[in-house]
Structure 1
Amino acid sequence: MTALRPLIVRRMGLRDYEPVWRAMQTFTSERDEDTPDELWLLSHPPVFTQGQAGKPEHLLAPGNIPVIPIDRGGQVTYHGPGQLVMYLLIDVRRVALGVRDLVNLIEQAIIDTLSGVRITAQTRPGAPGVYVDDAKIAALGLRIRRGCSYHGLSLNVAMDLEPFARINPCGYQGLAVTQVADFVHDADASELMVTIEKLLLQQLLQSLGQYSWIDVRQEFE
């Protein structure tokens, strides 16, 4: 039986992408077998991130939005205000999860979160992420280093979706993109973000199920 351990949840607000990415790398490099796992909840100003498998032809017309090549798997995606991002800094060996197990767990947590606001979502074989009908509503990409994960998921809640038209999202030409606000009408955007964040955190903690107590911090040191 896996021993229960503490977990730190950080609510970080709106943060520039690159400093957070570098902080994830540093955290992963410096952690040891006793370091508590962490979940970071935040959003980013407009940015395209290009995964290690990314191909230049999938960047159609980025315009004035910066493009940052990064070290997660996958192709290009977009982050912007009104999108809920969660980074999972988890010692996957310690919690006895394989990479595919973790991906499945994340996808199911997103599906269950959307079900909580009466949105029916599903996965697609061979195409990581979560979809509503034929439109992608959540993307995910992980990096495993030293037996630990970083990067994570992005869930479109109430945002400007136009920048997705400037790329082939996740490398798929013409892929439609949607968001929670398209299905939950007359909802205040900030209140909707709070609701979805709460539901997603609950679902992930329930799925992981290996933590003895949760330390929620508003500040990021």
Structure 2
Amino acid sequence: MTILVKHLGLVDYSSTYEAMRSFTQERDSDTPDEIWVLEHPPVFTLGLAGDAGNLHSPSNQIPLVQVDRGGEITYHGPGQIVIYLLLDLRRLGIFVKELVLRIEQALIDTLAEYGLKAERHAGAPGIYVAEQDEISQSWAGAKIAALGLKVSKGCSYHGLALNVATDLGAFARIHPCGYEGLKTVDMQTLGIGDNIDLISQTLLGHLQQQLIKS
């Protein structure tokens, strides 16, 4: 299985969103899968089930974009690894729920490499900081990574976002994923000072391992 990995750098959200949609609409059974690794300038995005009221403190500097992924409201900005997964799920032989589990496991495994214990929360897609002795207990249960997907014609787009050294103040303007009072954290706050590019490579490796599983 060949997956083309593209490192796009810091790119505009809306144009990237349209490019994902166009790629998915135009692909056929022979089109190779792609993984896009990037960062976005500050933007709030609202999923199909989202309530715009969860942006409780709007900012003139940060636009809100309605999108067609699942999930609620989230924030993207510099210092956050965003990975879009443009995959033919039929060819991979997996359903979307299995893809979500594999994405979550890749995130958990990546954070474990940096000494951070992380976990799933039932009914709340994403990855959360688990209780551990090494960090302040005040961060237990805080969300550190989000995910949201769209499947069209058996193919996925959108993906995941991991907070590395992110503007946490922007998350304070929203109810992340629709949950009032949900804390959000990044790796830097938890004491991880590694370069975002190195963390991206670690995460990409774990994603690729998960995707080649039978």
TM range, normalised to the smaller chain?
over 0.9
- Equivalent residue number for residue 176 of structure 2: 169
The Cα of 1:29 is off from its aligned counterpart by 0.4
1:17 is aligned to 2:20: no
C-alpha separation between the residues in 2 aligned to 1:206 and 1:175? Answer: 31
TM-score by length of 1: 0.90
C-alpha separation between the residues in 2 aligned to 1:135 and 1:177? Answer: 5
Q: Please, which runs of 5 or more residues in structure 2 have no aligned partner? A: 130-139
Q: For the Cα contact (< 8 Å) 1:117–1:184, is it kept in 2?
A: no
Aligned equivalent of 2:57, options 48, 56, 61: 61
- Equivalent residue number for residue 94 of structure 1: 91
- Equivalent residue number for residue 48 of structure 1: 44
- Equivalent residue number for residue 80 of structure 1: 77
The CA deviation string for residues 15-74 of structure 1, in whole angstroms up to 9 with x for no partner, is 010000000000000000000000000000000000000112211012111000000011
Aligned equivalent of 1:200, options 198, 203, 207: 203
How many residues align? The count is 203
C-alpha separation between the residues in 2 aligned to 1:73 and 1:20? Answer: 17
Aligned equivalent of 1:32, options 19, 25, 28: 28
Following TM superposition, the consecutive aligned residue runs of length 4 or more in structure 1 with deviations greater than 2 angstroms are none
Question: Structure 1 residues 81-90 or 52-61, which shifts more?
Answer: 52-61
The CA deviation string for residues 128-152 of structure 1, in whole angstroms up to 9 with x for no partner, is 0000021000000000001000000
Q: Percent identity?
A: 52
The CA deviation string for residues 135-190 of structure 1, in whole angstroms up to 9 with x for no partner, is 000000000001000000000001211010101001000100001111235x2xxx
C-alpha separation between the residues in 2 aligned to 1:194 and 1:59? Answer: 30
RCO higher in structure (CA 8 A, sep ≥6)? 1
C-alpha separation between the residues in 1 aligned to 2:97 and 2:2? Answer: 23
Q: Please, which runs of 5 or more residues in structure 1 have no aligned partner? A: 211-221
Aligned residues: CA RMSD: 1.2
1:209 is aligned to 2:205: no
**1:206 counterpart letter in structure 2:** Q
The Cα of 1:194 is off from its aligned counterpart by 1.3
- Equivalent residue number for residue 119 of structure 1: 116
The CA deviation string for residues 94-119 of structure 1, in whole angstroms up to 9 with x for no partner, is 10111110000000000000001001
